[in-house]
Amino acid sequence: MNIHDIRLRFDHASCSKCKGAGSFISPQGSRPCLSCSGSGKTLTKRGKIGFQAFLSIRFQKINASEVKPGDFIRQSGSGIFNKVETIKAEKDSLGRIWIKMTFHGKRETYGSFPALEIERLNQSVSIEEAINQALALS
Ligand SMILES: [Zn+2]
């Protein structure tokens, strides 16, 4: 289930820009609607609240000092979660904390994570449970 499929589990309506077509016909041919990313559907106000609740249940914002080996983390805004192997408890002169982790399950690297910019994948809640909890909240 990708993130677009998950979004549409929440209250949505036909896209007002493309009238639900998902694309526009122009003299140059068909181009996808940017408002709905080509799906023809956008979240309602209630749907947006639910989807945000889902994100906050599934992806927890934590401080670098809370990271543990085995966590899947990413810096906010980037798409890929990396598994933390070991933690090098060392701050550099810029206050960054350096973490050793696998990248795509293979390569090991060090990443710097400023405090308050880490998202941890909540492995105790499945995608389905997170959707249901979020639907109940919205
Ligand atoms: Zn659209």
Shared-domain flag, residues 71 and 100: yes
Residue 78 is predicted with a pLDDT of 66
Residue 21 is predicted with a pLDDT of 95
- Output the six-digit token pair for 115: 């405090």
At 86, which helix (H) or strand (E)?
Answer: strand 82-91
Q: How many CB atoms lie within 10 A of CB 47?
A: 20
Q: Do 91 and 133 meet the contact criterion of CB atoms below 8 Å apart? A: no
Distance 60 CA to ligand 1 centre (A): 30
Distance 109 CA to ligand 1 centre (A): 40
Low-confidence ranges of the chain (pLDDT < 70): 76-78, 89, 103-107, 110, 113-116
Domain that holds residue 21: 3-43
Distance 4 CA to ligand 1 centre (A): 14
Number of domains, the chain: 2
Q: For residue 35, is it within any domain? A: yes
Shared-domain flag, residues 113 and 67: yes
Q: For residue 52, is it within any domain? A: no
Residue 125 is predicted with a pLDDT of 94
Residue 33 is predicted with a pLDDT of 94
